[in-house]
Amino acid sequence: MRSSHSPSSSAQAARQALALRLREIRLDAGLNARALAALAGWHESKTSRIENAKKQPSENDLAAWVQACGVPGLLPELIAELRAVDSAWLDWRRAEKTGLTHLNVAVRALYERTRLYRSYCQDVIPGLLQTAGYTTATLAAIRDGRKVPVDDVADAVAERMARQHILYEGNHRFVFILETAALTYRRGGPEVMIGQLGYLLEAMALPSVSLAVIPPDTERAGRWPVENFYIFDDAQANVELVSGFLTITQPREIGMYAEMFMRFHEIAVFGREARALIKRAMDSLE
């Protein structure tokens, strides 16, 4: 059995939609759960668990299902749905089993078609604003900490750097909100951090970029730090958790993250005040 459970209703809704589709296919074929199980060669309880979204089917399970129901032509479509369910929640071990580069390549088109990108980060500079040195230190730590079996950090860094062309080209707007801690957590040593913070000051001058920092002494009023999240227009939100990577497509959930973003926006500082916080972090390193 696959383990794709996540805390998101987006992932759960995708699982339930696939389960409902399989139940409808069985009913259209005039089969009860016991008859389908007999034709598929498994226990009746497995059919029930699949239809109630308690067990996620494998691609082989789907093949047996459509064969039993006499609709083998539906298999490619169902496999596509299954893979969409998988993509809603990816645990890091499964996501990174072939290295770090493919994950970065996979989101390239998403970044390039997004017109309004919003990100909130409490402990890291977001990828679009990272220097090569900072990205290298970050991905090397991920490789070592999560025991990624393939060492492709250099290729992943190159992909991240190539992605940054959207800061300069096309009709894109970027709003970044950082906690002060993201400016002070060291990745790659003082020289790397000084270069990274200097690059933030340069990026703030770009017409497409709006960068804000939440001061350390601000009154939070319920706006406590949360997980790092990234919103792509109103179509998708990505969330990085300790155990995996969450893709949110449910409008209600995207709205919750957009609302939280606005709450952080209210207490963040921009322009001269944000620059002062970045320069203060640089001074502490020098």
State the DSSP string of 19-36: HHHHHHHHHHTT--HHHH
Give the end of a domain, one of 36, 64, 89: 89
Q: Both 21 and 125 in a single domain?
A: no
Q: Is residue 1 part of a domain?
A: no
Query: pLDDT (tens digit, 9 = 90+) per residue, 222-238?
Result: 899 999 999 999 989 99
Compare 7 and 65 and report the one with higher pLDDT: 65
Instruction: Look up the domain containing 65 and give its range.
Output: 9-89
Q: Is residue 199 part of a domain?
A: yes
Q: Which residues fall within 8 angstroms of residue 79, CB to CB, at 6 or more apart?
A: 59, 62
Rounded to an integer, the average pLDDT of 147-160 is: 96
Q: Both 268 and 210 in a single domain?
A: yes
Q: Is residue 275 part of a domain?
A: yes
Q: Is residue 267 part of a domain?
A: yes
Count: domains in the chain: 2
Q: Both 163 and 24 in a single domain?
A: no
Q: Both 192 and 50 in a single domain?
A: no
Q: Both 124 and 199 in a single domain?
A: yes
C-alpha–C-alpha distance, residues 5 and 86, integer Å = 10
C-alpha–C-alpha distance, residues 49 and 33, integer Å = 10
Q: Is residue 217 part of a domain?
A: yes
Q: Both 49 and 70 in a single domain?
A: yes
Radius of gyration from C-alpha coordinates of the chain: 23
Residue 202 belongs to domain with CATH number: 3.30.870
Rounded to an integer, the average pLDDT of 93-101 is: 90
236 contacts 254 by C-beta, under 8 angstroms: yes
Q: Is residue 57 part of a domain?
A: yes
pLDDT of residue 1: 38
pLDDT of residue 87: 67
Residue with tokens 């490789």: 143
pLDDT of residue 252: 82
Give the end of a domain, one of 89, 116, 136: 89
Rounded to an integer, the average pLDDT of 188-198 is: 96
Q: Both 101 and 67 in a single domain?
A: no
Give the end of a domain, one of 89, 114, 138: 89
Confidence check: pLDDT of 95 > 90: no
Compare 243 and 33 and report the one with higher pLDDT: 33
